[in-house]
Amino acid sequence: MTNTLEDNTTSDPTAMLRLLDLASVLKPMALRVAATLNIADLLAEGPKTVTELAEATSTSELHLRKLLSYLAEMDIFVETESGQFENTSLSEPLLSTSPLSIRRILDVNGGVGRSQLGLVGLLHTITTGETCHASVFGSRYWDDLNNDPKYLESLRSDGNRGPVYGAEEIIHGYDWSGVGTVIDIGGNNGMVLINLLQAHAYLTGATLDLPNLASIAGDEIAAAGLSERAESIAGSFFEPLPQGYDVYLLSGILNDWTDSEAVEILTNVAAAAGPRAKILLGEINLRYEMMTPNVAELDLYMSTLVPAPVRTLEDISRIAAPAKLKAELVRDDHPFRTLIELVPVTAGSAS
């Protein structure tokens, strides 16, 4: 039976109001803008008027007042009787100095914040199976971060200083005893290579990535006192790669690319490695069943970011075959890493 207008007007509005609140785009963006403008850090110096904050942030005083008033309604800031704004206990994680700081995560000019803005393209992902970022910004996530100088400081500040995303599997789960040199292809800020060389004093090597990250990696290598054992190279794995290394490492690289692009990457790596060097993948392979809570949220979120958040050994074998490589499992006991060695398929051998 079709509901009448009277039926609708007497319905409990709780569900409607909750859904509208959940669907609000304004709330998360207001919080992210406050984080980007460093409002909490400015207020940590003492209560400030909107005029003072607008001058410090180079923003419109009229519209900044609207933003702060809205955030005050949510108890993130508070306006005093004298017309000044102050922090609250809820704004503490917005402080750069807080041990639980999330400011850089929310900063829309930072790497993580930039990636999350792309979520407005979720319909594109659901419709096509492709990632969000290019549909929103017209370019890929890594192209933006690596090639635009404005993201250089964010990449430098946000970079991890230890093995991340299970990279300890690479450092301690692989037999490096017979290896002299290693190159980390797509090595980000260089920390995987640095931690690898710190753990194995007999290794020397290099990291290769696009210009922004290569610059950061060079600085990190120098800061770690490893300049005599390591170097940073600016380059792309879609172009010919340096030759002469014992191991070619790809740590969490292929999941950022489609199957056809992954084949192109592996083909270039295989050409540089030749028949004698080893190719080691620390491939992202998310096992959602091993993760709690919010598994469904993580599954959906990762699908908006990368083409292949889950790639099994069989998947790697399939994309390695066109590059004339065979995948051999090394370790497969981590919630989101699979360690795989790729070896050349010799003439007459089974692939």
- DSSP per residue, 25-85: SHHHHHHHHHHHTTHHHHHHTS-EEHHHHHHHHT--HHHHHHHHHHHHHTTSEEE-TTSEE
pLDDT digits (tens, 9 = 90+) for 255-285: 889 999 999 999 999 999 999 999 999 987 7
pLDDT of residue 347: 52
Q: At what angle do helices 26-36 and 61-73 cross, to 10 degrees?
A: 120
- What kind and span of H or E run contains 183? strand 181-185
| Weakly modelled stretches of the chain, pLDDT under 70 | 1-10, 150, 152-166, 287-292, 335, 347-351
* Residue whose structure tokens are 């207020």: 43
Do the beta carbons of residue 216 and residue 156 sit within 8 Å?
yes
From the list 159, 211, 163, 164, the residue with the least C-alpha distance to 189 is 159
Q: Which residues pair with 337 in a beta bridge?
A: 284
pLDDT, residue 34, reads 97
- Rounded CA separation 166/244 (Å): 27
* Torsion of Cα atoms, 59 then 62 then 68 then 71, to 10°: -110
Token pair recorded at residue 224: 């770690």
Q: How does DSSP classify residue 327?
A: E
Q: What is the tens place of the pLDDT at every residue in 38-90?
A: 999 999 999 999 999 999 999 999 999 999 999 999 999 999 999 999 999 99
Contact between 25 and 68 under an 8 Å Cβ cutoff? The reply is: no
Q: Is the peptide bond before 13 cis (omega within 30 degrees of 0)?
A: no
* Token output for 114: 């930039």
DSSP-based three-state secondary structure for 126: helix
Q: Which amino acid is at 212?
A: N
C-alpha span between 102 and 80 (Å, rounded)? 25
pLDDT computed for residue 212 by the predictor: 84
pLDDT at res. 283: 85
Amino acid at 97: T
pLDDT of residue 292: 62
Structure tokens at 151: 């993201």
